[in-house]
Each structure stands twice: as C-alpha cells, then as structure tokens.
Amino acid sequence: MQELASVILRPDCLAGGELRVTASPKGVRRVELFETALASPGGSSRRTENSACAILERACAELGRYFSGEKIAFRFPLDFDGSGTPFQLRVWKALFEIPRGEFRTYGELAARVGSPRAARAVGQAVGQNPLPVIFPCHRVISGDGRLGGFSCGVRLKVLLLELEGQAVAGSLPLPGSRWSALRMS
C-alpha cells in the first residue's frame, strides 16, 4: 500500500471552512474543501508523517499563497494514479486552463474537450474533480449564466470566486461586475 500524508488547512478566507490536502510520494492526490471545520482541533494539523511530506509541504505553501489572494500558478506534482477516466482527465485538464478571474460554461468545456454535445457528462466529470482549486471547477457556470452547483458547496464556490476578484450576490453576478457579459434571465 502506498504511503499517504495529509494535512488540514484553515485559511481565513474560507470563513470557518477548511481543506484537507492528501499526497503520495508521487504528488498531490486529493484536495477536499469543507464548508465547516472537521472534528480535529487546532489550526493546521499534520495527520501523518511519511515520505510524501515534502510534496505536501510544497503544496501547502503554494495553496497558502493562493488563499492569501496571490495570483499563483500551481507547480507541485500531482498523482492521478488510478483516478479518472480518459474523458475525466481531459475535462480536468481543461479546467486547469481556465484563467483566474474568468469562467467557462459546461458547454464551452464540452467543446474544448472535443465533445460539444456532452455538457452534462462534463458536469459529472467536474463534480468528480479530486483537486478543486488546482483544477478550478469553481470557475465553471451554467449555460444560463447562473453559478450552478459545486461539489464542495455553493457557499465555498462564492468565497473562491470572490477571493479571485469576482463580485457575486446569491446565484447571479452583480451588475457592473466582470460577470456582466453573462446572459441574465
């Protein structure tokens, strides 16, 4: 069995939420965001110590910079060992290419991965994303311009978008924001 290490981070911008980052010796395998704190006490807490810790430390440093509002390109290694179908991997790669401060619809992602009629399948792949924030699924919206869902909770989606400079109220963009180009019905 491969050794894994994980750590809990509680960035202030998540308003009481937290994230768990899990890594193997090959790279970061999973990032989980939670709307409320898990049962473990304290600030950042190391769950395990093993050979994956160097990768985990690097990932936590980069994620810390992201959550403090810095524009960052994540450069730590990733481990997809056994994760995702070829279609899901194409969708996750397309997520990675969405620039900070921008958004894409499920239909636009479907066209990007070569399956223009597969917006729902793209939505399912986005929902299975094991690395939210790194593969920024919070930047994906519904075709009608609404925020849509988020596997980690819509509240966290709004917080992440606001961290990146988007103005959001409820499930719609605020008038005059960078979202104003969206269709509002």
Dist. CA 62–CA 66, nearest whole Å: 6
* Local structure of residue 78 (DSSP, 8 states): B
Give the amino acid at 140. V
Query: What's the confidence (pLDDT) of residue 171?
Result: 53
Backbone φ and ψ of 137, nearest 5°: -70, -15
d(CA 98, CA 119): 16
C-alpha separations of 113 from 93, 97, 100, 167 in Å = 9, 12, 20, 28
Transcribe 140-158 into DSSP letters.
Answer: EE-TTS-----TT-HHHHH
The pLDDT value given to residue 82:
80
User: Per-residue pLDDT for the chain (185 aa), expressed as one digit of tens each?
Assistant: 578 889 999 888 887 789 999 999 999 999 999 988 776 544 444 444 566 888 999 999 999 999 999 999 999 999 988 889 999 999 999 999 999 988 899 999 999 999 999 999 999 999 999 999 999 999 999 988 888 889 888 888 988 998 998 877 655 544 444 433 333 32
Q: Which of 13, 53, 60, 137 is catalytic?
A: 137
For residue 137, indicate whether it is catalytic. Answer: yes
Q: What is the pLDDT of residue 182?
A: 38
Burial of residue 47, with CB atoms counted within 10 A of its CB: 0-12 exposed, 13-18 middle, 19 or more buried: middle
Q: Which amino acid does the sequence have at 1?
A: M
The CA angle 43-49-55, to the nearest 5 degrees, is: 85
pTM of the model: 0.82
